[in-house]
Structure 1
Amino acid sequence: MIRFCLSMVFLTLAAPVSAKEAPDDGFNPEALDAVKGLQRLDQRLHNIGYRLVHANIRFCDTKAARTGLLLNDVAQYADQKTARFALGFDSSIGITAVAPNSPADLVKLTPGDTLRAINTMSIDEITVDDPELLAEQPAYRRIAAINRMIEQALVENNVQLTVSQKGINRTVPIASVLTCPGQFQIRVSADRSASADGKLVRVSSRLAEYFLDDDEFAAVVAHELAHNLLKHRERLDAQKVNRGFFGQFGKSARRVKEAEIEADRLSVWLMANAGYDPQAAIRFWTRYGKEHGKGIFSASTHYRWKKRVQLFEEEIAKMAAVDPVDGKYAPPLLAIND
């Protein structure tokens, strides 16, 4: 997960640091609040994303090995000293979030743990000179290298992580589970937006703060995840859809709208399978639509909010008319891989 500069960004969600928590050696309380607030958003999105991809694995034709861990590198922050204190790390690399009931949770890894080694390799020995990492910004290359090393070790089913918990080192073997593919990122921004690029789901910090509960949060995440699971970017690229100004008209606009409709329809099935209330999609878009018109997007490529609500109602009715198997509803738009 990419972390943006927080030196001038103060999240309104963040609770103030109490006098007992605040250090007395010159930390900026507002900067501490910003880091802690972003971590809370990261944790919410990480947990929601993990639930969605884990619960719907049966219906995905591509699978990914997951531990439930979200790692962070303080090098991604302008004020590294403040970030390290706020996140609770003893060093530069640590755990930001652990998805409940994930393999990482089962071995009692916790947010604030500092990562010391992967198998026998110390974190300090991991190099970032691989050509494949050059596409990443310099501050993000080390965490990308670490995540890739863990992913490769998971394929071999041989991962031991050495972590420091409150200054005490422990080494734990960590397993993985197969999930649908999906990566999730909070993007620090003053706008309210969400997007999908084929692999990654991004939600802006301001939009994340707007949700009333995790069910509403999951409604938007499930919509963006649906785009990725349905390979909409690949399909639109193959159709040579124009994503620029002229993409708002004609054939391109029609094809983008078709993809948006599919993502809306699939999203409530993904939500229900993960234990989220699909009615939250109706609640969110009704509230947001009344306040902001068409919703997050104002282009002709998206339905107005009332039409979106109608789509959700239709899909929820379809779910009510079928019997789940082992508590899961088979989404009509996804292949079933039993």
Structure 2
Amino acid sequence: MMRFLFPVLALLITVQSLPARADERTIDHAVLAHKALQRLDQHMHMVGYRLTAANAKYCKKTVPNLGILLHDLKQYGDTATARHAHGFFSELAVNAIAPDSPAAKAGLVTGDGLIAINGQPVEDIEIDEEKLAKEQPEYRRIAAINAMLRKAAAEGSIKLSLLRGGLHQEIEMTAAQTCPGQFQIRVSKDRNASADGKIISISSALAEYVLSDDELAAIAAHELSHNLLKHRERLDSQDVNRGFFGQFGKSAGRIKATEIEADRLSVWLMANAGYDPQAAIRFWTRYGKEHGKGIFSASTHYRWKKRVGLFKEEIAKIAKIPNTVEQYAPPLLMVEGP
């Protein structure tokens, strides 16, 4: 289960408004905020890795993936509370490790402090401020570190120097090849998710609403499908208006076509990753009944009952495939294209 006792957004407001001399109860509340958000990050990271790794053979392009999610002490406004909540043996640390990933097999654990990559101290890694101008300042260092990790992983085996409980560790590993996809939890009170061609974002409120990792996978797989099918590129080439006027005419029809494709592909991605495709039906039925307005009233999306019908159609196709088949070739990824 993934529901938490306290909403992440409300807890983070507490963290950001801590007085200079907070009492012990307030500090404990702030630590809970960090740990609640970390749990969401960990679930999202695990789900994202499973989806991209399990479907790699069907992706036209693959990328090296270590299965590591890092965080930077500087990204937190209250660094003292962040250090108390997460340890931070160094300013850059492991926030999550995906099970069965190269990092997990090599023995990395959550909380390991990262001090060097292939012998180069992370504190010496240059940050290209111009290249990372779109990133918030507090996230630029970790963006530079992640870029360096991807580059090093693509070139072969990679050696990480770590600090664990005050002791130095040297761990070497080779990246796995997965579908491209970066997954993140975005702190927001709105229940929504998006894909921009590279990054899949799910709001904390939506992630808190799900009842299981299978349901989280249903959302993540839908957004990943948008990226794998290059929907953003297609809509851009068709001059589709994504603003107010995108709710009308050809733009609305073209957006709806991508939503239908993403729904159809999503359950195949889930099945290959070992998630229950029926979770997509359970989640969207519950969400549709409780929040039937919103996206379901827009001309760019099917109403929830029709959407559930799409899932049932695709799940029926999967069910007809012999049990001897270990993976299911998603029809939409088998279509030849650019």
Q: Say yes or no: TM over 0.5.
A: yes
Q: 1:178 matched to which residue of 2?
A: 177
SS in 2 for 1:127: coil
Q: Which amino acid aligns with 2:157?
A: N
TM-superposed CA distance for 1:135, in Å, is 2.4
Task: Report SS of the residue matched to 1:293.
Answer: coil
Q: String of CA shifts for 1:51-91, please: whole Å, max 9, x gaps.
A: 00000011100101000000000111110111122112112
Letter matched to residue 261 of structure 2: E
Q: Give SS of 1:140's match.
A: helix
Distance change in 2, residues 1:218/1:296 (3 Å): farther
Aligned residue for 1:74? 73
Over residues 263-298 of structure 1, what are the superposed CA-to-partner deviations in whole Å (9 max), with x where a residue is unaligned?
000000000000000000000011111111146554
Does the Cα contact within 8 Å between 1:60 and 1:336 map onto a contact in 2? Answer: no
The question of whether the paired residues in 1 share the 8 Å contact of 2:12 and 2:30 is answered with no
Map of 2:246 onto structure 1:
247
1: CA distance, partners of 2:250 / 2:213? 36
For 1:45, what is the secondary structure of its paired residue? Answer: helix
Give yes or no for contact 1:294–1:305 (8 Å, CA) kept in 2.
no
Residues in 2 aligned to 1:134 and 1:56: alpha-carbon distance in whole angstroms: 33
CA distance in 1, matches of 2:141, 2:25: 28
- Name the counterpart of 2:222: 223
Partner of 1:266: 265
Measured after TM superposition, the shift of residue 8 of structure 1 is 7.3
Number of the residue aligned with 2:62? 63
* Structure 1 residue matching 2:194: 3-state secondary structure: strand
Aligned to 1:10: 11
Contact persistence 1:264–1:312 (CA under 8 A): yes
Deviation at 1:130, TM superposition (A): 5.2
- SS of the residue corresponding to residue 131 of structure 1 reads coil
Please list the CA deviations of residues 275-325 of structure 1 after superposition, one character each: whole Å capped at 9, or x if unmatched: 000000000011111111146554210011000010000000111122367
Distance 2:41 2:295 in 1: 20
- Residue 249 of structure 1 deviates from its aligned partner by 0.5
Decide whether the 8 Å contact of 1:295 with 1:304 is kept in 2: no
Q: Return the alpha-carbon distance in structure 2 between the equivalents of residues 62 and 191 of structure 1.
A: 33
Distance 1:81 1:291, change over 3 A: same
How far apart, CA to CA, are the structure 2 residues paired with 1:282 and 1:188?
25
CA RMSD of aligned residues (A): 2.2
Counterpart of 1:141 in structure 2 is: 140
- Determine which structure has the larger helix proportion and give its number: 2
Q: Distance in 2 between matches of 1:61 and 1:120?
A: 33
Q: Which residues in structure 2 correspond to 1:1-338 (within 5 Å)?
A: 9-10=10-11, 28-129=27-128, 131-294=130-293, 298-323=297-322, 326-335=325-334
Shift of 1:108: 1.0
Structure 1 residues 295 and 49, CA, compared in 2 at 3 Å: closer, same or farther?
farther
Q: 1:122 to 1:7 in 2, by over 3 A?
A: farther
With the length of structure 1 as denominator, give the TM-score of the two structures: 0.91
Q: 1:7 to 1:299 in 2, by over 3 A?
A: closer
Shift of 1:119: 1.1
Show CA shifts across 1:249-269 (max 9, x none).
000000000000000000000
Q: Aligned partner of 1:249: which letter?
A: F
Q: Secondary structure at the match of 1:285?
A: helix
Paired residue secondary structure (2:147): helix
Equivalent residue for 2:18? none
Matched-pair contact (CA < 8 Å) for 2:268–2:330: yes
- The 1:275–1:7 alpha-carbon spacing in structure 2 relative to 1, beyond 3 Å, is closer
Distance in 2, matches of 1:304 and 1:83, equals 42
The TM-score, its normalising length taken from structure 2, stands at 0.91
Contact residue 44 and residue 185 of structure 2 kept, 8 A: yes
Instruction: Structure 1: give runs of 5+ residues left out of the alignment.
Output: 1-5, 13-22
Tell me the amino acid that sits aligned with residue 78 of structure 1: G
Partners of 2:210 and 2:111 lie apart in 1 by 26
Partners of 2:63 and 2:255 in 1: CA distance: 27
Give the counterpart letter for 2:260 in structure 1.
Answer: I
Mapped contact 2:157–2:175 kept (Cα < 8 A): no
Distance, in Å, in 1 between the alignment partners of 2:295 and 2:249 is 21
Q: Give distance in 2, aligned partners of 1:64 and 1:292.
A: 37
Q: Secondary structure at the match of 2:332?
A: coil
- 2 CA distance for matches of 1:41 and 1:291? 22
8 A Cα contact 1:232 1:259, kept in partner: yes
How many residue pairs match? The answer is 322
Give per-residue Cα distances to partners, 1:94-146, cap 9 Å, x unaligned: 00000001100011101111111111111111121353222222111100111
Cα distance per residue 1:213-271 (max 9 Å; x no partner): 11111001100000000000000000000001010000000000000000000000000
C-alpha distance in structure 2 between counterparts of 1:142 and 1:324, whole Å: 47
Question: Taking every aligned residue pair, what percent have the same amino acid on both sides?
Answer: 59
- 1:3 is aligned to none
